[in-house]
Amino acid sequence: MKTLSTLFKNNVREYGMLIALIAVMVFFQVQTKGVLMKPVNITNLVLQNSYVITMALGMLLIIITGFIVTLAGMLIFRGLTIALLRGESVGPFPRGFQNISSGFIPDFFQYEGFHVTTILIGVVLSILLIWLDLRTRKNQQKYGFEVTPFYFFVFKNIAITTAVMGLCYLMASYKGIPTVLVLLFVLITFYAFITSSSVIGRRIYAMGGNEKAARLSGVNTPRLLFYTFINMGVLASLAGLIVAARLNSATPNAGDGMELDVIAACFIGGASPSGGVGKVIGALVGAFLIGVLNNGMSIMGVGIDWQKVVKGIVLLLAVLFDVYNKNKSA
């Protein structure tokens, strides 16, 4: 059985960032006098960060492989975008397309002032998460693997259930679950499976850990790297659709600088700049931390210049923390 201190030491990056996210949310909740956690702002927070989360899932795989970004391709495609659109915006779009980012799931109970369907979805999701965690724990015990202490298992599931139901309650008090959140749930589930339970996921981690060893083991590393960039392109295009649906227009300069938030989300969430390390849940936590910082500072009236300074400092601290842990374990 693992002690709590050992468990924290082995997962210091993941738990540390989660604690940091909670601390930042509490700080801005106080500083904004309760505005941050209002139902309408929580919904906006989800909508504003949906495209960052979407791209972070693809960027995580690229960072795990150890080759971060191609500046040449970015400049080429941005230039082509401006050339094709001739500097003009395209829009407005049909209502059905706008619903990708601004729509909400229907309430089948039609209860005025409260979205009952959202609460029921939260209950089902909470039960599903507890069942999956319990099944994983039993399988680990069955095959003789170490498991977390039972009290920690209970505490973790209570905390997750509280967070899920609290979020669902806040959204149910407004308009319910946004359509884009359903899309994000599907993507997060898919990529969590890819990174943790698939052959291609294990090969990506192996290539990031030691590219030469992975190649000698039979992994076609050039093709695998190519596939990770194709995957990033697909998710970037999906994020572009989400942004266009939210703004109800497509502009040539939309998304400028967004790649920095995406990369920062992965690094802050535990991905290592040297490759081979990173989890989907970490990238998710990192994306929400960036989102809360953006949202909280905007509500407080902090200028865009100082917002960039703060995010840069947070990113720098995350990288320094990674270097410190590696030096400590070496």
Which one, of 47, 48, 50, 69, lies nearest residue 59 by Cα?
69
Q: In this predicted model, which residue has the larger pLDDT, 119 or 268?
A: 119
Predicted confidence band at 187 (pLDDT cuts at 50, 70, 90)?
very high
Q: In this predicted model, which residue has the larger pLDDT, 179 or 278?
A: 179
**In the predicted model, is pLDDT for residue 32 greater than 70?**
yes
Arithmetic mean of pLDDT over the chain: 84
What's the whole-model pTM score?
Answer: 0.85
For the segment 14-27, what is each residue's pLDDT rounded down to a tens digit?
Answer: 667 777 888 888 88
CB–CB of 13/282 below 8 Å?
yes
Tell me how far apart the alpha carbons of residues 224 and 227 are, in angstroms, rounded to a whole number: 5
**In the predicted model, is pLDDT for residue 70 greater than 70?**
no
The pLDDT score that the predictor gives to residue 281 is: 86
**In the predicted model, is pLDDT for residue 118 greater than 90?**
yes
Task: Report phi then psi at 128, rounded to 5.
Answer: -65, -45
CB–CB of 259/243 below 8 Å?
no
The residue extents of the domains of the chain are 13-36+48-92+203-325
- Residues near 205 by beta carbon (within 8 Å), at least 6 away in sequence: 64, 195, 276
The pLDDT score that the predictor gives to residue 5 is: 62
As a residue count, the chain comes to 330
For the residues 184-207, what does the mean pLDDT come to?
Answer: 90
Q: In this predicted model, which residue has the larger pLDDT, 78 or 154?
A: 154
Helix and strand numbers, DSSP H then E, in the chain: 14, 0
Task: Provide the b/e sequence for 71-80 (b: ≥16 CB within 10 Å).
Answer: eeeeeeeeee
* Tokens 């095959």 sit on residue: 143
Tokens of 141: 């015990």
Tell me how far apart the alpha carbons of residues 150 and 155 are, in angstroms, rounded to a whole number: 9
